[in-house]
Structure 1
Amino acid sequence: MTVTGRKLRVGITGIAIESSTFSPHRSTVDDFHVTRDDELLARYDFLRERPEWTEGVEWVPLVHARSLPGGAVTEEAYAELSGEILERLRAAEALDGLFFDIHGAMSVVGRVDAEGELAAQVRAIVGPDVLVSASMDLHGNVSRELATALDLITCYRKAPHTDAWDTRERAARNLVARLRSGGKPKKAWVQVPVLLPGEKTSTRLEPAKSVYAAVDEVEALDGVLDAAIWVGYAWADEPRCQAAVVVTGDDEELITAEAARLAQSYWDARRDFAFVAPTGTLPECLEQAVKSAERPFFLSDSGDNPTAGGAGDTSWTLDVLLRTPAIVDSELITLYAAIVDPAAVAAAVEAGLGATVTVELGGKVDAGPRGPVPVTARVEAVDDADPVAGTAVALAVGGLRVIVTARRKPYHLESDFLALGLRPREADVVIVKIGYLEPELYEMAADWLLALTPGGVDQDLLRLGHVAIERPMFPFDEAMAAPALRPELL
């Protein structure tokens, strides 16, 4: 469709969460931050700062829900959130376009392709002529149903995701451009039977660096509107979970050929993807960190990373730390961020600063690797105004400082630690429930190891027990035959 001579009406909606089906955590409505109307509109700075392409557009904020990654979304929560999206779409005056801001790895209990189902329901309401453009995380999944229901679809090109807002802007800008210049583009879609964790596909390193650099080259070709490669989400057990490529444009022959080329490059590189940092067991990593002269020395407690969907209370690593004399019975200062345990936080707050408290810490949601761990510690700090954690405390056991939070919270910034009086730059060892280090921690780390720890986002995919993914798939079927990788025009 082409719209000229009047203001375009473009709706904004979506649900964004990354959820592990291997985590016992369940995401409820309380885990989501829901925005509507002006609050939703205010989320997108580029709508105010880019008059060169936003002028002449009436943005219609409907409802958007986003959450920290976690376990699968309950059916009740999904029904409530998706129900409001569909209700508001039905009630909205006629739209020309819709900006669909999602993650792409939302798992819902009892469903196998939540985003695909939601996109199909959205399409049924808005009809065939309204252009729908989706922005996604590169760790999302692109099923045929999802790709078919959308007119434009794109994803991040950087991991860590330093281009997340650039991607949302691109999705909205391409939508407006198409509404003005006319016509639905074609989409060349192909899935690649490879499923790898994000920690093996960081665009900081080869081969992902070169594979993703080619996306920009494809996008720049005449006849191509956009190109995207999805790594997929490794910690859900659903048929859609695999890598995918979509090239969008008007030249069918070109976009098909380029989608095949990008898909082939990803497949060809599959064996070359390696972890973003040296890896080892937790005891091995601790031994190296303690002996090293590099400070601060960072370790990733990767199996329970809350920003990948981990429960955030797996206590296996804590148990190892407490049984490591070089950590608790030495002059070293070790920071551990963080374990969610509202009962332990409440006990520490009640005891007060400087008091000694005995708690059963962690292992209450994800008790698989290790149940609650008995800890007797000094209450070193309390922050009762953390906007994410609610209340956070620091518990000291010898040289170890354990951050415990009332609500799940990732620790990605120096300010997260400073709020509790903890100074990571001055620490000897900093252990974070994370996969690849986020940019601020990455720049801070004098050295870094990725510990292969258990949890709902275990980096060792083969020991998680996938049964519903499509097979054969690399690396589950190491000797599988090369796939055809023939893109479909949707």
Structure 2
Amino acid sequence: MERSAVRGTSAAPSLHHPLIAVAGLAIEASTFSPARTEAAAFHPRRGDEVFDAYPFMSPGSPLREAADWHGALVGRALPGGIVTRDAFESLTAEMLERLRGIIADHGPLDGLWFDIHGAMTVEGLDDAETVLLRRVREVIGPDVLVSSSMDLHGNVSADFVRLTDLITCYRMAPHEDELETKERATRNLVQRLRDHAGRPFKAWVPVPVLLPGEKTSTRVEPAKSIYRHVGEVAERPGVLDAAVWVGYAWADEPRNQAAVVVTGDDRDAVSAGAEELAAMFWAARDEFAFVAPTGTLDECLDAALRSDVRPYFISDSGDNPTAGGAGDVTWTLQRLLDDPRVTGLGQGAAESPRTVIYASLPAPEAVRTAVEAGVGATVTVTGGAAVDDLHAGPVTMTGVVHAIRYGDRDAKTEVVLRVGGLHVILTELRKPYHHEHDFTDLDLDPRHADIVIVKIGYLEPELFDMAADWMMALTPGGVDQDLIRLGHHRIQRPMVPYDPGDFTPDLHARMIDRMF
């Protein structure tokens, strides 16, 4: 890519300080949840506040100093339901207007960092990230170098690969390398511009496998070896980056499947690396298994109650808000409230009372009632199933207000209601509970609880380190681990596990040319 093709010969002095904008919208959006995601859920950052989310881009850092960076708009929402069309259009319009402003004030761009997730589903649209990037390209022009960073649970269509130039995704699940991945995307972009390196070759291979993240954790095989090999391919001569996406299993769109993209300056090395990774993923299609022992809720509770180790964690996986669940499915909580072994109340209660924590249930009216009553008061509240009532209705419970906390970024107000030994966390808005302080801030001690039940799939690092033992309950909800039970209708077929894996897919590398 010659400098004059981007900004004209008069801009040549800024060669060592390229002009780069930052933009993107990120969410996992389940099409199997009745929830809808509005614009405010993205907590959009604008201008310089965009960089607050990236420690490696702090003022004075090497990357920040290596280019003339300008934030347009970056939004990141908790996983949830489908994004409304109005939300998408309003956020997109503002993003484009801000990009136009950057160009008007500073001149044509050299590069764009497109920071997304890759699993955004929007009402009335397929392949929403491609639609968004196409509109961005109409503003910034065809010659601007675009570097996209993504979650490995995103989706990568051929059209998206055509619109981007550099592309990478996480290599760890849980995503302990999130910031490392984003830094790699920006570093590759800056280096490419400073070196006049131009556009790399891009090899894309779709792999007809679609699995939940809980079967593809890089903590265990076969994903552990596959993703280790991703790094090895990326280090080969002539290769710039390599990435494998497992796809997003809880949306029903034609693009949803595993995919491989390898980029670099050696066409043969890029093609060979992509085919090698795709073949490796396909060969392991029948080896992927859940990252933890699984069972029905009853089986998980029985195991936890029998166990001598504490704390024993149970994942309420079907309504996991960090995978796209509505968060207010009451199916599991109702069963806990009805089980005297859990609450310690009524006939069948254990002689030695247990401490059980449940996180969590959005129930704004119940929260208001508890707040008005105050800590120590006994209240009867009803809540849940306001969004997702497909599996169970609202629950009613009577308990003592154990704690109240205000001002959480996601939950707003949190309340702990103690029903016997069961401590139920109620929230004004849904919130994932991934960190020890999420509990200790509510006067709860998860390390010394008997059982901790969390709406999650695989345990995030702090929970994983805390758990003495762990099972994943295969519960119903918008992110049900039983994909066949959910019922996809629009994905491409054949597709494992929806079809027997005895067919031979085309795993040859598609060399993707630029769209413009």
The TM-score, its normalising length taken from structure 2, stands at 0.93
Please give the alpha-carbon distance, in whole angstroms, between the structure 2 residues aligned to 1:36 and 1:260.
39
The residue identity in structure 2 corresponding to 1:260 is E
- Assess if the C-alpha contact under 8 Å between 1:157 and 1:212 holds in 2: yes
Quote the residue 1:44 is aligned against. 54
Please give the alpha-carbon distance, in whole angstroms, between the structure 2 residues aligned to 1:105 and 1:399.
39
Quote the residue 2:394 is aligned against. 372
The residue identity in structure 2 corresponding to 1:236 is A
Please give the alpha-carbon distance, in whole angstroms, between the structure 2 residues aligned to 1:54 and 1:78.
29
- Assess if the C-alpha contact under 8 Å between 1:474 and 1:480 holds in 2: no
Please give the alpha-carbon distance, in whole angstroms, between the structure 1 residues aligned to 2:355 and 2:256.
41
- Assess if the C-alpha contact under 8 Å between 1:224 and 1:249 holds in 2: yes
The alpha carbon displacement at 1:54 in A equals 4.6
The residue identity in structure 2 corresponding to 1:116 is T
Please give the alpha-carbon distance, in whole angstroms, between the structure 1 residues aligned to 2:21 and 2:413.
36
Q: How many residues align?
A: 490
Q: Which runs of 5+ in 1 are unaligned?
A: none
Please give the alpha-carbon distance, in whole angstroms, between the structure 1 residues aligned to 2:439 and 2:401.
15
The residue identity in structure 1 corresponding to 2:245 is W
The alpha carbon displacement at 1:379 in A equals 1.2
Counterparts of residues 50-65 of structure 1 (less than 5 Å): 51-52=61-62, 54-65=64-75
Given candidates 102, 105, 112, the residue that maps to 1:98 is: 112
- Assess if the C-alpha contact under 8 Å between 1:473 and 1:480 holds in 2: no
Given candidates 150, 168, 173, the residue that maps to 1:154 is: 168
Quote the residue 2:9 is aligned against. none
Counterparts of residues 416-427 of structure 1 (less than 5 Å): 416-427=438-449
Please give the alpha-carbon distance, in whole angstroms, between the structure 2 residues aligned to 1:274 and 1:123.
40
Quote the residue 1:483 is aligned against. 505
The alpha carbon displacement at 1:193 in A equals 0.5
* Pair 1:302-2:317 in alignment: yes
Quote the residue 1:430 is aligned against. 452
Quote the residue 2:122 is aligned against. 108
Given candidates 166, 172, 179, the residue that maps to 1:165 is: 179
- Assess if the C-alpha contact under 8 Å between 2:48 and 2:70 holds in 1: no
Counterparts of residues 223-234 of structure 1 (less than 5 Å): 223-234=238-249
When residues 96 and 70 of structure 1 are mapped into structure 2, their CA distance, relative to the original with a 3 A threshold, is: same
Counterparts of residues 69-218 of structure 1 (less than 5 Å): 69-93=79-103, 94-181=108-195, 182-218=197-233
The alpha carbon displacement at 1:380 in A equals 1.3
Which deviates more from structure 2 when the two are superposed, residues 43-52 or residues 120-129?
A: 43-52
The alpha carbon displacement at 1:362 in A equals 1.0
The alpha carbon displacement at 1:2 in A equals 4.9
The alpha carbon displacement at 1:47 in A equals 2.3
The alpha carbon displacement at 1:387 in A equals 2.8
Query: Identity over aligned residues, as a percent?
Result: 58
When residues 239 and 50 of structure 1 are mapped into structure 2, their CA distance, relative to the original with a 3 A threshold, is: farther
Given candidates 26, 32, 37, the residue that maps to 2:42 is: 32
Counterparts of residues 346-365 of structure 1 (less than 5 Å): 346-365=368-387
The alpha carbon displacement at 1:13 in A equals 0.5
Helix, strand or coil for the counterpart of 1:467?
coil
Q: Which runs of 5+ in 2 are unaligned?
A: 4-11, 345-349
Please give the alpha-carbon distance, in whole angstroms, between the structure 2 residues aligned to 1:98 and 1:159.
26
The alpha carbon displacement at 1:419 in A equals 1.1
The alpha carbon displacement at 1:53 in A equals 5.0
When residues 374 and 488 of structure 1 are mapped into structure 2, their CA distance, relative to the original with a 3 A threshold, is: same
Moved over 4 A (4+): 49-54
The residue identity in structure 1 corresponding to 2:412 is G
- Assess if the C-alpha contact under 8 Å between 2:360 and 2:426 holds in 1: yes
Please give the alpha-carbon distance, in whole angstroms, between the structure 1 residues aligned to 2:456 and 2:51.
31
Please give the alpha-carbon distance, in whole angstroms, between the structure 2 residues aligned to 1:387 and 1:129.
39
The alpha carbon displacement at 1:250 in A equals 1.1
Residues 410-467 of structure 1: CA deviation (Å, up to 9, x unaligned): 0001100011101001100000000000000100000000000000000010000110
Residues 203-256 of structure 1: CA deviation (Å, up to 9, x unaligned): 000100000000111111110000000010000000111000000011111111
Helix, strand or coil for the counterpart of 2:43?
strand
Helix, strand or coil for the counterpart of 1:265?
helix
Given candidates 324, 333, 355, the residue that maps to 2:339 is: 324
The alpha carbon displacement at 1:100 in A equals 0.3
When residues 49 and 41 of structure 1 are mapped into structure 2, their CA distance, relative to the original with a 3 A threshold, is: closer
